[in-house]
Amino acid sequence: MMTTFPEPEAGDSPSKLEVFNPSGHTLPFQESDLLSLLESIEKGESVQFHSIEFVFTGEAGIVDINSTYLDRSYVTDIISFRLDDDESDQAIEGTLYCCAPRIAEQSEEFDTTPEVEFLRVAIHGMLHLAGYDDQTDDDKAVMTSREDYYLQTLFH
């Protein structure tokens, strides 16, 4: 069963954000939280998101995506695909594949709530779309700092 958040009503501006949940896993956050984070990242990083899809999948789904597109065959929490060719970063389009069971496990490993961990991973994916990388220890430290910053903007 695929679960999505409600579509905008007629007359509303089109949503920049769509969430799909073919995993069936309970998502411990509100759509409004993702929208707030998206807007904060746009402002803080001087980027503009045009269309972002979050797809919450199970472990088999994330391994399939990882194997098919990245030639890796393991479970990961998120895989980000930027789909636009806009070099100005003012019309970013992307799909973020998130492994709901892995994120839930990480919340226990990192001794945080599922809500915080799911939102941290969402921020991480949006930062990737905005141009951040995490291939080196220094890059990871920068991304973690930005994740912490955006979580603070949401919860305080």
Q: How far apart are CA 120 and CA 68, in angstroms?
A: 25
Per-residue model confidence (pLDDT) at position 29? 96
Per-residue model confidence (pLDDT) at position 14? 56
Per-residue model confidence (pLDDT) at position 19? 96
Give Rg (Cα) of the chain: 15
Domains, the chain, with CATH or none:
17-155 (3.40.390.30)
Q: How far apart are CA 54 and CA 98, in angstroms?
A: 7
Per-residue model confidence (pLDDT) at position 2? 40
3-state secondary structure of 24: coil
Per-residue model confidence (pLDDT) at position 85? 92
3-state secondary structure of 82: strand
3-state secondary structure of 123: helix
3-state secondary structure of 105: helix
The per-residue pLDDT of the chain, averaged, comes to 91
Low-confidence ranges of the chain (pLDDT < 50): 1-13
